[in-house]
Amino acid sequence: MNTKVTLAISIAGFILLIGITVIAYNALQSRVNPNGIITDERTETPAPDFRMTDWEGNTVRLSDFIANGKPIVINFWASWCPPCVIEMPDFNRVYLDMGDQVQFMMVDVVDGMRETVAIGKRFIEEHNFSFPVFFDTMQEGARTYGIRSIPTTLFIDQNGYIVTGVQGMINEETLRTGIGLITP
């Protein structure tokens, strides 16, 4: 193929990609408030169940916690992830303030290379975090929820329905806003 034709096709493809990106951005922007919380009407989507291990190495399921009837905040994270590290103190503060009202599930996405259970535990202990930590050692939770990037936070109401979620780092204000959507 002629280099001019190839260049023209490449430029047209790039322009098309930018156009699609702008349209998608505008569509999503209308659904998200300034804190990053998705504001669409509540969908009656039950939170899919998955297995993970607790701090002691016991296998637990999300459904075990849903059965308790408490709203749940799930945060998928890893110690090597800079945005995860930055948001952790905010999660700990809110947990210390609201942990009796909301079940926090800080789920370490363990890949066995960059992130292991030992690395995750060491990170939590070094920072003296108090929130409950779980380990997604088989990445079942990450697959079940389609986690493509971390951190990702999900807000589940007391009936086990996903109310909203945020992909990316959040601050204390956004965390409290999300909790406000799932607490009576």
In this structure, what DSSP letter does residue 79 have? T
Tell me how far the alpha carbon of residue 138 is from its chain's centroid. 17
Summarised one tens digit per residue, pLDDT across range 102-154 is 999 999 999 999 999 999 999 999 999 999 999 999 999 999 999 999 999 99
| Alpha carbon distance 82, 80 (integer Å) | 6
> Is residue 104 within 8 Å of 132, Cβ to Cβ?
yes
Average pLDDT over residues 88-114: 97
Q: Count of CB atoms within 10 A of residue 141's CB?
A: 25
Q: Three-class SS of residue 74?
A: strand
Residue 172 phi, psi dihedral angles, 5° rounding: -60, -40
Q: What's residue 184's pLDDT?
A: 84
Pick from 43, 25, 24: which is nearest to 155 by CA? 43
Give the Cα separation of 118 and 124 in Å (integer).
10
Reported as a pLDDT band with limits 50, 70 and 90, residue 47 is: very high
> In this structure, is the dihedral angle defined by the CA atoms of residues 17, 18, 19 and 22, taken in order, positive or negative?
positive
The CATH class for the domain spanning 36-182 reads alpha beta
